[in-house]
């Protein structure tokens, strides 16, 4: 095998092994929701884990949920936005922190308003994470 072909393959394998060894706590951003599935009228708690410094942004489907509360989110504001890809094209409640976060865990609640499957998304430092929430 040509040595010019072997070297890039070895580098790709080494990078893949190194990335798989990164502990879960080093994740840039993650988001979960509970209960999931939920029932119409349930307050769904969203938990956001931030492992990097950056401005935190969160999108919650406005079709599936009423305006979210601020919970323990860092200083910032919610606004209504039409149809971003971060909520699979549904209208959204969009939160943006007013300053950079230094990482940590945050939570907030939103009341489920209609049945269906809805996407909530978090973004920090160029990285997105999402969770699909089923409402019955």
Please write the tens of the pLDDT for every residue from 65-80. Answer: 999 999 999 999 999 9
Alpha helices in the chain (DSSP H): 3-20
Distance, CA of 22 to CA of 71 (rounded, Å): 30
Full set of structural domains in the chain with CATH: 25-135 (2.60.40.1510)
pLDDT single digits (tens) 25-41: 468 999 999 999 999 99
For residue 88, give the nearest of 129, 127, 45, 132 by alpha carbon.
132
The HSE-up count of residue 73 (CA atoms within 13 Å, CB side) is 27
How would you list the strands of the sheet with 43-50, edge to edge?
Answer: 29-34, 43-50, 104-111
What's the pTM value of the predicted model, to 2 decimals? 0.80
Please tell me the predicted confidence (pLDDT) of residue 35.
98
Nearest to 58 by CA among 117, 104, 106: 106
């Amino acid at each position: 095998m040509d040595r010019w072909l072997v070297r890039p393959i070895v580098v790709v394998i080494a990078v893949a092994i190194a990335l798989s060894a990164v502990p879960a706590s080093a994740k840039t951003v993650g988001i979960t929701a509970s209960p999931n599935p939920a029932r119409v009228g349930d307050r769904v708690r969203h938990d956001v884990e931030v492992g990097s410094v950056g401005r935190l942004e969160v999108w919650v489907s406005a079709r599936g949920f009423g305006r979210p509360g601020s919970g323990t989110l860092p200083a910032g504001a919610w606004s209504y936005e039409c149809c971003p890809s971060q909520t699979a094209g549904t209208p959204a409640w969009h939160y943006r922190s007013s300053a950079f976060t230094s990482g940590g865990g945050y939570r907030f609640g939103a009341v489920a308003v209609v049945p269906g499957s809805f996407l909530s998304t978090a973004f920090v430092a160029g990285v997105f994470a999402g969770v699909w929430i089923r409402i019955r």
